[in-house]
Amino acid sequence: MKTQLSSPLFIGAFTFLTLLFSLMTIAQPQPIAGLKLDKATLTYPGETHLKNVHQLTFGGDNAEAYWSFEGRSLVFQANYDAWGTACDQIFIYRDVTRIETEPKRVSSGLGRTTCAYFLPGDREVLYASTHLGGKECPPAPVREQGRYVWPLYPSFDIFVADLEGDIQRQLTHEPGYDAEATVSPRGDRIVFTSDRSGDLELYTMNLDGSVVVQITHDLGYDGGAFFSPDGEYLVWRASRPKTEEAIKKYKGLLAEHLVEPTDMELFVARADGTEMRQVTHLGNANWAPFFTPDGHKILFCSNHASERGFPFNLFLINLDGTELEQVTQDGAFDSFPMFSPDGTKLVFASNRNNGGTRETNLFVADWAE
């Protein structure tokens, strides 16, 4: 499938591809000077942390791939004509050691879905879906010159399905946007984003949807949160409008169920919201953070060094914001990194090796310190 530049790609607040491809309409990204993809290793020079890279998908738009607790399977969202999707749906990649030409769809096929994650035991997954608001894919926002926004569909709620795709239960019931859910490695809590307070905040809840606790309270978008390996901390992306103009713009977009994701930094806090602090002060968009296996660093996606909005690459940073290190050297897009539970492998989404198309595929690599 060749994705047209006017097509909405991965519409949903947990992905950045719409923004990336909107920016690409302004100017085509060029490979970083002197760097060329090694087709044998699927790496660029300087990507020393990535070993034995394997491509898992070969067409469409695939992203947000997250490991099962046992570390062999992935759950991810994809939009690919060959798999019969009209918009983003959730799929299971059962075994990353082999190529699966058509992974099993586990979402209902109705509405739009996003942000899937395995539950403990690996027999169920949770994901957000708009299907209660209608069987069709909800419309993408009208794209205006100079405005790059994510839609916050009020019909998004969080559901649990078994691996056959049958919905077992609904976890959120509040009016408005509920999505971006991930599960603690302890297997006891879920963190998610909701606008139930009138702002986009982080909340945690038990696996059955009970005992909901608001974690963030500052004005701005808080989302895309993940727990640390020991379940003690959270890392997430956030915008913090400060000026009168920025606050007015943020609130105006929120009233339209939209958010502009072009200025975001990374924050960490204890899982109960205490000891909150800002990690990055880089500018532009810093997002898709994930703790390293030892819990001492954050691996994340950023375009902070990009003058025209791209490329997006992966970076490492200490929890105190020191020792920033670039991990990938792509000329377009690398994001959504996630370490396997044993810390030995990394899955990520990338535009590399796509033959010059707009396709985004999943890659898995051995992680080298």
Q: Which two tokens stand for residue 182?
A: 């991930």
**pLDDT tier, 33 (very low <50, low <70, confident <90, very high otherwise):** low
Does 8 have pLDDT greater than 50? no
φ, ψ at 5 (rounded to 5°): -65, -25
| Cα–Cα distance measured from residue 364 to residue 278, given in angstroms and rounded to the nearest whole number | 29
Percent of all residues in the chain with a pLDDT value above 90, rounded to a whole number: 85
Lowest model confidence (mean pLDDT) among 32-41, 124-133, 140-149, 227-236: 140-149
Residue 11 lies in a domain: no
Residue 7 lies in a domain: no
C-alpha R_g of the chain: 19
Q: Which two tokens stand for residue 225?
A: 């949160």
**pLDDT tier, 148 (very low <50, low <70, confident <90, very high otherwise):** confident
Position 319 scores a pLDDT of 97
Position 309 scores a pLDDT of 79
Instruction: Print the domain residue range for 69.
Output: 17-367
**pLDDT tier, 308 (very low <50, low <70, confident <90, very high otherwise):** confident
Average pLDDT over residues 82-90: 96
Q: Which of 125, 134, 148 is nearest to 13 (CA)?
A: 148
Position 218 scores a pLDDT of 98
Indicate left, alpha or beta for 231 from its phi (over 0: left) and psi (-120 to 50: alpha).
left
| Cα–Cα distance measured from residue 60 to residue 79, given in angstroms and rounded to the nearest whole number | 6
- 8 A C-beta contact, residue 303 and residue 16: no
| Cα–Cα distance measured from residue 42 to residue 24, given in angstroms and rounded to the nearest whole number | 23
Say which residue, 230 or 141, is predicted with more confidence: 230
Which residues, other chains included, contact 234 with Cβ-Cβ below 8 Å and sequence gap of 6+? 191, 202, 215, 225, 226, 227, 228, 268, 269, 270, 271
- Give me the residues paired with residue 130 across strands: none
Q: Count of CB atoms within 10 A of residue 186's CB? A: 13
Tell me the pLDDT of the chain averaged across its residues.
Answer: 91
Residue 5 lies in a domain: no
Average pLDDT over residues 105-117: 97
Position 251 scores a pLDDT of 97
**pLDDT tier, 39 (very low <50, low <70, confident <90, very high otherwise):** very high
| Cα–Cα distance measured from residue 279 to residue 233, given in angstroms and rounded to the nearest whole number | 13
| Cα–Cα distance measured from residue 117 to residue 81, given in angstroms and rounded to the nearest whole number | 23
Q: Which of 202, 17, 187, 47 is nearest to 118 (CA)?
A: 187
**pLDDT tier, 1 (very low <50, low <70, confident <90, very high otherwise):** very low
Residue 146 lies in a domain: yes
Position 143 scores a pLDDT of 72
Q: How many domains is the chain built from?
A: 1
| Cα–Cα distance measured from residue 200 to residue 187, given in angstroms and rounded to the nearest whole number | 24
Does 5 have pLDDT greater than 70? no
* pLDDT tens per residue across span 183-237: 999 999 999 999 999 999 999 999 999 999 999 999 999 999 999 999 999 999 9
The domain that contains 72 carries what CATH number? 2.120.10.30
Average pLDDT over residues 237-257: 97
Q: Which of 308, 306, 307, 314 is nearest to 349 (CA)?
A: 314
Position 22 scores a pLDDT of 47
- What's the per-residue H, E or C state across 183-227? ECCCCCEEEEEECCCCCCEEEEEECCCCCCEECCCCCCCEEEEEE
**pLDDT tier, 35 (very low <50, low <70, confident <90, very high otherwise):** confident
Position 225 scores a pLDDT of 98
DSSP state of 6: T
Does 13 have pLDDT greater than 50? no
